[in-house]
Chains A and B, each alone.
Chain A
Amino acid sequence: MSENDVEKKVADRYLKREILGEGTYGVVYKAIDTKTGHTVAIKKIRLGRQKEGVNFTALREIKLLKELKDPNIIELIHAFPHKGNLHLVFEFMETDLEAVIRDPNIFLSPGDIKSYFQMTLKGLAVCHNKWVLHRDMKPNNLLIGSNGQLKLADFGLARIFGSPGRKFTHQVFARWYRAPELLFGAKQYGASVDVWAAGCIFAELLNRRPFLQGDSDIDQLGKIFQKLGTPTPLLWHDLEWLPDFVEYSSQITQPWRKLCPTASDDALDLLSKMFTYDPRTRISVQQALEHRYFTSIPLPTDPAKLPRPAPKRESHNPRTSDLNNGPVVLSPKRKARRVMSDREGFDGNSFQVDKVDERGGEIRWAAGDNSGRNEPVLMSVDFSVFGSKPVSRPTINSADRSHLKRKLDFEFQHPE
């Protein structure tokens, strides 16, 4: 068997479904693993663009996920090359914590919050035990599976922090989750940066809105100090020696009770320890997990019973049948949307392409708002020419075509 045949055989193990998201280093598909029958998410990593082989971020992710096997960390099931691209097969995750927090129909009980947050810390503890910093902790990197299990994902910024004194970049984390030492330009830091971010996630779970929403690095520090008070050298010894240290006008600490009105005393105590300014005295993830908050009443909810956004519509959705009768456009989705914009079926179901965050390295594979109305397609069938998800039945009859042509002509005459 030639090499290509072997490749094709591996690739054909997966039945490709719709696109879940797109990012700078590739596309994420939903797929069925025919060997196990499980639904998986496949990240296709584009190669060759910059002639730099396997994308550096992707390689980091592969390297670390191969070491981190845990129920609270996303599983890298398989990796394989196909047609010059590297494909990473992950377990399929239904949703993410951001969707849970943002969903106005979801009520989170104190036990629910405890459960989600405990799983977050458990996953993080596994990373830190293996000397891995995640460096991109935020609600939409915390994926949630169909059994309610929360798992850490997106290790594209993660690193091993074993050797002491090694310098790292401070340009990590989405700004709202960035620890003050990073905002002050610290190049040597440790696990405590993840703890700060976890604290932000905890507060966000409690308040149901992002805790510290700065719109620049300077403003971020301002927002932090406004809520938690301006740190003094007494509280944080090395503060003034940080590379980008600037003095802020002194503000007083607000009481935690006021910042998170719904939280229990135990929760507030844990929060205050996670938001300790001096990274060296900030609570560790392990200590946080041992905090009395997790053993006091109410106990963490069983993950399977946790509230999650309403399940996505499946392919037997009645609405999809009438949609299949209509014309389907084999053109870039940008155009497809324009031509079809009056069709109800396309509106809510347009592919969820996540907003690329400030570093632009983001791709999602938690289920978007896709109804899986496509027939399964073999992995080896390449749809990249369409720049869109596989379209199973491009039934364009002649009547539709003339209609389309008129529309397209129209666009030609009025280029944007």
Chain B
Amino acid sequence: MRLALHSKSEGGRDPSVWAALPGLCCQAAGGEAQWTDAVAAAWLLFYAAAHLMDSVEDQDEPDPWWAMQGPGLALNAATGLYFSACLALEELDDLPISRQTQRAAAVQVLQPFLLMSSGQFADFNTPEPTLEEYWRIASAKSGAFFSLACQAGARLATDRPEVLEGFQQFGLNMGLLIQILDDLGDYRDLTEQKGAVDARSLLRSLPAAYLREVCTGEIIERFNRLVWKAGHNPEAAAEIVQMIEGNGGVLYLLAELDKRRSLALTGLKRAAKPSPAREALAALLDKLQAPST
């Protein structure tokens, strides 16, 4: 399991960057950051487990530590991580908060993972999502993941619905922002022709979903054919880039980045009064995406 957690910071997202999120939300909501240690630990352990399962389900390139033995080892590690996450939540018993609040925070962590599982199921069964499907899946996966961290942290401090809804909006849109940046990174690799193009990822990406929304069937068919050639044919890759840019794909991504940032900030302002913790949360957004207005 140590290897599973370690590989997250190398090949995947770096947990240390997000680990403060539940604590900051708790603080911004009027609580103490250290109350969220159990929630933050469970959240990160659940993520590590879910990411391993995703990798196996999507038949991604295996991490070195399970490449030899195969997906069975990865699933075994994921199982251990899931149970470790559940055990971490038991630490909520030690906090100076009511039993009701402990249970509510635990549910706030556990329940969204059901939504995330349904998101992964939809992702699995939707190889060429429409734009609407893309956003639904992204909300159920990345959006739900960050939303739960924010809400669970805040729930340890308060049960006021307007505060929890504000943090839900903040976390959801932060998650969507990160998902867009993920897709943008893959798109950048395509434009710079860095390494192999993952055709399946490209077909699921936001630029591809955007083209399906706005272009004719002929263009979409052309795009679909080029995607499978782009990995070994620079001209195909270049034509894909031209299709996306010529139809406003980059502008659309930029507009969505800006929109998600604005919505995240609006949620944060609804949730919390000005404070160092709230400013720190806003600063996390600035690290992702600079404002355009």
Real binding pair: no
